[in-house]
Structure 1
Amino acid sequence: MTRVEKSTDVVTLTVHAVLDALIPLVEDLSRELPHTERYRRLLETLRTLFPGDAAALLRLEGDTLVPLAINGLSSDTLGRRFRVNDHPRFAQLLDQREPTRFAADSGLPDPYDGLVQGVEGNLEVHDCLGCPLYIDDRLWGLITLDALDPAQFDSIDLPSLQAYLSLAAATVSVVERIDTLARSSEEERRRAEAYRLASSQSRREMIGSSAPYKRLMDEIRVVANSDLTVLITGETGVGKELVANAIHALSPRAGKPMVSLNCAALPDTLVESELFGHVKGAFSGASTDRGGKFELADGGTLFLDEVGELSLGVQAKLLRVLQNGQLQRIGSDHEHKVDVRLIAATNRDLAAEVREGRFRADFYHRLSVYPLWSPPLRERGRDVLLLAGNFLEENRSRLGLLSLRLSSDAQTALLGYTWPGNVRELEHLIGRSALKALARHRERPRILTLTAADLALSEAGRAAMTSDAADADGHAQPGEDFRTAVASFERTLISEALARNERNWASTARELGMDRANLNRLARRLGLK
């Protein structure tokens, strides 16, 4: 690694050129602009002053660099999360106070190899320049500038670069101060800090920029500060648990535990014990006293996933706890008082379940005080590429690759697919495709590109397109109501998956991206078991 140094052969930019580029940024500091637009203009100016093939602005969050804006890199880069320990170039850039340029023949892997937009083939970045940003003497993040030409930055003008960095730091500082002013009370600041702490843990991060995603995040922020019971609805695989985590992290209960229970993963005989606990001798196998999920979540949040799978008896007992906060362990005569905020999730239409007598009306109304709908992936537009970028980076690290990227036809395939299994299906698809693509190489490649053929979405896509409940000839049955049509499609989809997996239910559940207990229950309802 060598630092950028002034030398006699440096071609100094004219004062007028620098001023013409920087003055608009100075004027922007006094304007009301969205953060994304400020950052976009910042990178546009960078590439005007110092032409290259790609630029990025990354914020340091704990041990991870998060891209906030990119210019010239593939769109999925915004969804990636770069752990500094996995990327030695980033680590060296962050260790320096001054701008750093890497030699073209540096042996350190470049995180952007294969990600430069519009470049096909395994072309690697050859000229790499990085500049740490400090706000109030605190390391905030990085600005990077990359080029495929190894001599691109030979004549870099250091005074102009330093002037740009000063304005970049001022721009970031303005954004930071606006964010601080927006938190007008100590309670709001405390909740924001709790959210950041929760985000730094191993839980998955919510990623997106589409209008449906932004509406969902607005709803989360509205309800988080209350103690209202929330019912999250949406299709299988949309990330309802992530929504519940976000609500808890932004709530006044963020410092207390969030306890989860998948109601479909346990038989009815054990659900009650898991929720309320039991005393020694209450039933066969109860050798000691044991607290339930409600007691574990006291002061915090209890998340009940697949709440539509609860039996009517358990619903009645839960209703009592929700009404007065009192519960009894199985086999005990003593009541416990608990303070728990309940968040529930389901992919069922509970209103229809109530009408058909499979769900208690009073429990349904108690759950749906604040209904929250999580949109399916097919309605989130280009969010699929941001999410794919996140999963690509996870698999790149897991497989020990320098770069794992999508070809342009793979991106087109992802955008054109209807995603019946939603985000979970996308996650499994990226992991499966990367593993299969890597296995086809005799020698481990430094850059692995997934093509549309690797994703193999065509056949699945055709199946998904028929989710309007088409019959064997591809036409909806005349007079068939929606619920019957959907059931018919589900039956066909499961039957075909069973056939492909030689009637192995565990393999079928994995292919469909479903919990095995949920698949078994659905199969029984559809008459397949």
Structure 2
Amino acid sequence: MTTHPLLQALLPLVDDLSRELAEDERYRRLLGTLRALIPCDATALLRLDGEQLIPLAVDGLSPDTLGRRFAIAEHPRFAALLAQRTPTRFAADSELPDPYDGLVEEHVGHLEVHDCLGCPLFIDDRPWGLLTLDSLVPGSFAQNDLDNLEAFARLAAAAVKANQRLLGLARQAEAEQQLAARFREVAGQAGRAELIGQSAAHKRLLAEIDTVAGSDLTVLIEGETGVGKELVAQAIHARSPRARKLLVSINCAALPDQLVESELFGHVRGAFTGASGERSGKFELADGGTLLLDEVGELPLAVQAKLLRVLQSGQLQRLGSDREHRVDVRILAATNRDLAEEVRAGRFRADLYHRLSVYPLVVPPLRERGRDVLLLAGHFLEQSRARLHLRGLRLGGEAQAALLAHDWPGNVRELEHLLGRAALKALARQAERPRILSLEACDLDLAGTAAAAASSVVVAAEPPSAPLNGDLRQALDAYQRQLIQAALTRNADNWAATARELGVDRANLHRLAVRLGLK
């Protein structure tokens, strides 16, 4: 007996319904089955999250697509697909811009998608997301493809629902959405903290966040400058029982020493010159919620002692007042310094360090996260595309390779700023405003970034005594090594004094010295 071709194509998807598969593997197989059923250049599965669509899996699209967040209001094709319960086809002459223009990997000399097919997925009669198919060849899709996609979409919805049940994602996602919505309402923040990545290091970080978020433990968030420590703090708070209360943040490094105590604990009228009235401190504002002490390693020793008392007793006194206030605050602390080393050097109280590091959580640097750099690049490119009012903003192949090869001393923050500059630079060199803007390796100027980083290590040091040979990376390393050694000599091998002279964070200088073989 001959099996119907449609049924034959859907059998692998039916078989997967009974298997326990990892979420990304289940969705990857789902899209593979879809491309076998309906030949095309690219497919994608996107989940509806409020007013945006989040790609969960792609096949045939650039890997940075997974990091993009498509605002429905900015993409009329997605809005049109979500408005229907059945598949929709957009012909080659459709005036609606395609969100995937420039993102199809096999673009063969042209960037724009010419045939598009999509279908919404419904779970429990509620819209859950979209399946999309795209082709670079006009007229690729016929009427029977719409019929096949509708049948496939029903099985795909069943696969998604099975996956949610197996992993308990449905209840968790609903709870997180409610908590995040309440958090935005109370805190007045426009967006939700989102940590983007799929690497093993990133998944370990998310697992640790889930582990500690439900407790009331004090968390010390450690990591290099620019890794996203504040986003981690927001994620911990959003997943905690305190999410309906405020998350209050204070940057301990941005305040003069004489104002830190007032900012933390508040003050009464006349407590110091200019104190014309009473003011609540960050601890009182965060009562019942969470307080993030960002750059906690910068706190003066005198303030550290008072902070320790509040953490131990839950009681504080406003500056200039004898009356005590009791507060119930969860503490999250963030630092790019090695606080254990600060304790040994006498710059940080040991008792406060132990009180803060009940649960130390290290945020991995970007260079240890592999291809996450492309997902994050896609996220930032989509933001830049909207700001620059472009139809498409993409990375060329050499630009992707350059991003993957870079060391990222400035981590995610460096990536964000670099891509923003690159987009403006690439746009400026266009004779006419393009529909799709491609960023090439020359636009990223990673060599110039590395040179700037090297020059920023030292602001008062002698030039190299001899010419440097070799490639750029070797030359930069040799130059930095020579400048650091010269500064160390001037400061009698005192690393803290050397860091101050060079104008860099001591923890970052330590990591650089280790890489250069100076430690």
Q: Corresponding residue for 2:155?
A: 167
Spell out the pairing of 1:109-188 with structure 2 (5 A cutoff). Answer: 109-119=97-107, 121-154=109-142, 156-180=144-168
Q: Cα deviation per residue 1:414-473 (whole Å; 9 max; x = unaligned)?
A: 000000000000000011110111112232111000000000112434767579974467
Residue segments in structure 1 that go unaligned for 5+ positions in a row: 1-13, 496-513, 520-529
Q: What's 1:57 paired with?
A: 45
Give the conservation status (yes or no) of the 8 Å contact 1:100–1:131: yes
Per-residue displacement from partner, 1:187-231 (whole Å, max 9, x unpaired)? x97467425765894244110011111111111111111111111
Please give the per-residue CA displacement for 1:352-404, whole angstroms capped at 9, x wherever unaligned.
11111111111111111111100100000000000000000000000000010
CA distance in 2, matches of 1:105, 1:490: 60
Aligned to 1:74: 62
Q: Distance in 2 between matches of 1:252 and 1:32?
A: 31
How far is the alpha carbon of 1:162 from its aligned partner? 2.3
Aligned to 1:363: 352
For the residue of structure 2 that corresponds to 1:449, the secondary structure is: strand
Question: In structure 2, how many angstroms separate the alpha carbons of the residues matched to 1:237 and 1:347?
Answer: 9
Q: Is structure 2 residue 30 aligned with structure 1 residue 24?
A: no
C-alpha change, 1:129 and 1:472, in structure 2 (3 Å) is closer
Residue number among 255, 258, 271 corresponding to 1:266 in the alignment: 255
CA distance in 2, matches of 1:489, 1:402: 49
Residues 53 and 190 (structure 1), Cα distance of their counterparts in 2 relative to 1, 3 Å cut? closer
Provide, for residues 225-252 of structure 1, a one-character-per-residue CA deviation record: whole Å limited to 9, x for no partner.
1111111111000000011001101111
Cα 1:472/1:68, change in 2 over 3 Å? closer
CA distance in 2, matches of 1:15, 1:392: 46
Distance 1:181 1:436, change over 3 A: closer
Separation in 2, partners of 1:389, 1:159: 32
2:360 alignment partner, SS class: strand
The answer to whether 1:108 aligns with 2:93 is no
Distance in 2 between the 1:118 and 1:342 partners?
Answer: 49
Distance 1:252 1:154 in 2: 51
**Structure 1 residues 393, 204: closer, same or farther in 2, change over 3 A?**
farther
Structure 2 partner of 1:293: 282
Q: Does 1:211 align with 2:196?
A: no
Alignment partners' CA distance in 2, 1:112 and 1:189: 29
How far apart in 2 are the matches of 1:490 and 1:79? Answer: 36
Matched ranges for 1:353-392 at <5 A: 353-392=342-381
2:308 alignment counterpart:
319
Q: 2:223 aligns with which of 234, 248, 259?
A: 234
CA-CA distance at 1:118 after TM superposition? 3.2
Give per-residue Cα distances to partners, 1:87-130, cap 9 Å, x unaligned: 11111111111110112111111100000013265520000111
The aligned amino acid for 1:152 is S
SS at match of 1:275: helix
One-letter code of the match for 1:444? Answer: R
Indicate if the aligned counterparts of 1:191 and 1:252 stay in contact, CA closer than 8 A.
Answer: no
Contact 2:9 2:33 in 1 (8 A): yes
Would you say how many aligned residue pairs link Structure 1 and Structure 2?
480
Offset, 1:161: 2.4
- Measured after TM superposition, the shift of residue 20 of structure 1 is 2.2
Matched, 1:243 2:232: yes
Aligned partners of 2:264 and 2:282 also within 8 Å:
yes
Q: Is the CA contact (8 Å cut-off) linking 2:182 and 2:244 kept in structure 1?
A: no
Secondary structure of the residue that 1:418 maps to in structure 2?
A: coil
Instruction: State the match for 1:37 in structure 2.
Output: 25
* Identity %, equivalent residues: 66
Contact 1:64 1:82 in 2 (8 A): yes
SS in 1 for 2:4: helix
Output one character per residue of 1:105-158: Cα deviation in whole Å (capped at 9) or x when no partner.
Answer: 111111000000132655200001110111111011110000001110035344
How many angstroms apart in 1 are the aligned matches of 2:426 and 2:434?
10
> Which amino acid in 1 is paired with 2:23?
H
CA distance in structure 2 between the aligned counterparts of 1:309 and 1:344, rounded to whole angstroms: 11
Q: Secondary structure at the match of 1:156?
A: helix
Residues 32 and 122 of structure 1, relative CA distance in 2, 3 Å threshold: same
Residue in structure 2 matched with residue 509 of structure 1 by the alignment: none
**CA shift for structure 1 position 318:** 0.3
8 A Cα contact 2:248 2:291, kept in partner: yes
Native 8 Å contact 2:220 2:361 kept in 1: yes
**CA distance in 1 between partners of 2:375 and 2:274 (Å):** 48
Q: Does 1:281 align with 2:277?
A: no
SS in 2 for 1:175: helix
In 1, Cα distance between equivalents of 2:445 and 2:502? 17
Q: Hey, what does 1:398 align to over in structure 2?
A: 387
How far does residue 182 in structure 1 lie from its aligned partner after superposition? 8.4
Whether contact under 8 Å (1:307, 1:344) holds in the other structure is yes
Residue 7 of structure 2 aligns to a residue in which SS?
Answer: helix
**Equivalent residue for 1:194?**
179
- For residues 481 and 433 of structure 2, the distance between their equivalents in structure 1, rounded to whole angstroms, comes to 45
TM-score by length of 2: 0.86
Alpha-carbon distance between aligned partners in 1 of 2:159 and 2:81, rounded to the nearest angstrom: 20
Q: Indicate which of 244, 247, 255 corresponds to 1:255.
A: 244
Q: Helix, strand or coil: the match of 1:129?
A: strand
- In structure 2, how many angstroms separate the alpha carbons of the residues matched to 1:298 and 1:467? 53
Alpha-carbon RMSD across the aligned residues, in angstroms, is: 2.9
* In the alignment, structure 1 residue 92 sits paired with structure 2 residue 80: yes
Residues of 2 paired with 1:379 and 1:468: CA distance?
Answer: 21
Which whole-Å CA distance do the structure 2 matches of 1:331 and 1:476 have between them? Answer: 45
Matched-pair contact (CA < 8 Å) for 1:470–1:477: no
Aligned-pair CA distance for 1:180: 3.4
Equivalent position SS for 1:145: strand
